[in-house]
Structure formats: structure tokens, C-alpha cells
Amino acid sequence: MPPRPAGPPPSPGDQPPRPPAPGTEPSSRADQAPEPSGTPVTDPPPDGPGSRIERPALAPGARDHVGTRPPTYDAEPTALPAADPDDLDDLVADTVLDGARYGACTLRAVSVRGDSARYRGEPRRDALLTARFGTGEHALLLVAMATGARATPGAHRAAAEACHWIGRAVGRSHARLVEDIRDGRRGDLKSGLHRLTDRSLGKLRASASEQGVDPGEYAASLRCLLLSADPECRTRVFFGVGSGGLFRLREGEWQDIEPQVAEVKGEPVLGFGSPPSETPEGDRLTMDLGIPTPPSPYEPAPEPPREPFRFRTSVARPGDTLLMCSGGLADPLRGEPELGEYLAERWSRPEPPGLAAFLADSQVRVKGYADDRTAAAVWEA
């Protein structure tokens, strides 16, 4: 390969920050929180010529970033996480990409290591599971995503375990779940999925105890989407525990349909501006606030989760796009309008994007947001 021609020395604004000193932990929000409006930011001094990686040319119409300034970090992976030769199964790939088409919907799912973790050589804390249970029109599609606790060594393992446990629980109950979704039994769905989630997170806490780890650190947020393969069934079911985002793109406009939770006197309640329990389109939203539920048709009830259980059923229309994502994508979508406008334009086209195009769209960057991004989007025919 011929040597690269010499160019002007890089400017301080083009360089990523220096990695933290050994034995220190990175700031919990420094790489995620958006910069205050109107506040000048001075990037750290450069680490020397050649530390910047050139990114390949983008496809026509695609963008590397949105916003007034490019992100500080390089666009491509820099450092690999440290590996243990006796525990290579613990390694996590930088990017996971999947997709499918069933019934009236097309699914795209991706999990990408954040810019900060890529630069520091840390593993992706987000985990993604896509699975099909059953066959034909009786099949059930599950998309599960989890995010491990920040600044904890086993965060990626906790996220993977959370996806594993909920996948096993849903898979064993998929026949009943399919019937409830097709027949519109929202009460049974909410009760059953609540208990499946409780049971899965309870197993995660038990795993932490077996490892001698603080359950508060060996924890994960969990968000799931259930889709029926029946082309006549347009009911989409969301459930989970923890932060993230649930959005719907309808007629070119984004709708934030994630329930908001506020803390009042230590009790979780529906916050101001929360969606109503039922919309004119037939969407329903339920959050369990610690109120006892009747016996589950799926599993016995274990210890309840520490955060409110979120549940919503949504009736899809042709042309809709439903997006479920971790906080790494939900936060910039809410904080940078230009990102929402860009994705709305890209994802409102007649045909769903291919896997490569969906990956490129999902990792359009915004300065100030450098966390892992995990997203699952469903296009309705």
C-alpha cells in the first residue's frame, strides 16, 4: 500500500480525549450528556500525528453525523477490549446486525459499540437477542435488548444474561403468548409478561449472588418487542424495565410513545405528559406500580423488579415504523432534532432499508452522545 501523503497537522478539535489513567473510572456522563447550549468547549490536546482514522466514503445521501460540530471520537473502532485466553466466550463483538420479514412487517435490529467504548477498548455494554419461536402463522418473534450498569466490570455479561433469561421464558410460553396477542387479551398479556420479566431479572440477581457481586452493579435495563408472524395480526407488544425509547414514525412524523416515569415521595408514578391509557387508534399503555396482580397463566411470581414494569400494545397501520432502542439512541433522538429529521427522511421511503443501510443510519453520530446504540425497527407493509 503506498504511503499516505503528508497533510497539515491535526487540529486539537479533531482529536479524541486521552483514555483515563490506569485504575481510574471514566466520568459517568462526560461522554453522553449533550454540551450546554452556547458554552464553548475546548477539546483536549492531540496525542500526535496519525492518531485520527480516515473513514471510508459514505453512500450517497448518508451522513456521518448531525449537529453543528463533529463528534470528538473517531468514527471507526480504535481499540479492542482486553481478552482472557481462558475465557474467550466472554468477548463481545463490536457490532451485531440482524433482520427478518414475517407477515406484514419487516424487522431490522442492530447493536453497536459506542464511540467512547471503542476508543477506550471497553466491551459493548448493550446486548441484543432476536429469536423466532414456533412456525408458520403461529410463530412469535422476540427482540430483546439490555444495557448493563455503567462503569462495572461485568456489565456486558449482565446484559447478555438478561436477554438470555427473558428469551428462555418467552420461548417456553410462546404458544400462549401468540394466542393472547392474536385475540387481543391485553390483561393476560400484561400480567403474564410482567411475571416473566420479574422471573428473568430475579435469576439475574441470583446469578450476581452466586458470583459474589453486588446485585445493584450486576444489573441491566431490559426492553422487549413481541411480533406475531400472522399477517392478519397487527398488534405489536412492548414490555420491559428501565430506560430507553419507544418511538413510532407515522406519516413522516416521530411520536414518542415511551411512558414517562417520575419519582414522587419515593413512589414511581406516571409523569406529566404521559400517554393516555388508550388512544383513538387503539393503542394501550399499562405500567405496573407495585399493585398485586392475579395469578399468571405463564409462571409463578418471583421477587418484583426494582423499577416500574412498562407495557404497551400498539395497533400498527400500513406505512408505520416502530422503533425500540436503548438509551444510547433514544437520548440523541430526543436531544438533537436534526437526527430525528434525518432518520424520518431515510425511513419513510417506500421500501425498508437493507441491513447495511440500517446499520449506517443507526450509527449517525451526534456530538456529546457516545454510548452504545441498540435499536430494533419494524416497517409495516
Q: What is the pLDDT of residues 318-331, one digit of tens each?
A: 999 999 999 999 99
- Tell whether 349 is covered by a domain: yes
State the average pLDDT for the chain.
80
**Bridge-based pairing state of the strands 321-325 and 245-250:** antiparallel
- Tell whether 331 is covered by a domain: yes
Q: Which structural domain, as residue segments, surrounds residue 239?
A: 92-380
Query: Could you report the per-residue pLDDT of 27-46, keeping only the tens digit for each?
Result: 333 344 343 333 333 334 33
- Tell whether 35 is covered by a domain: no
- Tell whether 362 is covered by a domain: yes
Number of domain units in the chain: 1
- Tell whether 22 is covered by a domain: no
Report the predicted TM-score, pTM, of the whole model to 2 decimal places: 0.76
- Tell whether 39 is covered by a domain: no
Asked if 177 contacts 226 with a C-beta cutoff of 8 angstroms, the reply is yes
**Which string of DSSP letters, residue by residue, matches 230-276?**
-TT--EEEEEEESS-EEEEEETTEEEE-PPPEEEETTEEEEPTTPPP
User: From residue 324, how far is each of 72, 128, 225, 286, 362 by CA, in Å?
Assistant: 27, 12, 8, 17, 12
Q: How far apart are CA 260 and CA 237, in angstroms?
A: 18
- Tell whether 69 is covered by a domain: no
- Tell whether 129 is covered by a domain: yes
Which of 72-76, 202-206, 232-236, 243-247 is the least confident region?
A: 72-76
Residue 55 buriedness (CB in 10 A; 0-12 / 13-18 / 19+): exposed
Q: Name the DSSP letter for residue 98.
A: E
Residue 365 binned pLDDT confidence (cut-offs 50, 70, 90): very high
**Which string of DSSP letters, residue by residue, matches 189-227?**
HHHHHHHHHHHHHHHHHHHHHHHT--TTTS-EEEEEEEE
Percent of the chain with pLDDT over 70: 72
Angle, alpha carbons 332-334-338 (nearest 5°): 70
Which of 38-42, 79-83, 103-107, 284-288 is the least confident region?
A: 38-42
Which of 159-168, 207-216, 247-256, 295-304 is the least confident region?
A: 295-304
| CATH number (domain holding residue 289) | 3.60.40.10
Query: Could you report the per-residue pLDDT of 11-31, keeping only the tens digit for each?
Result: 444 445 544 444 444 433 334
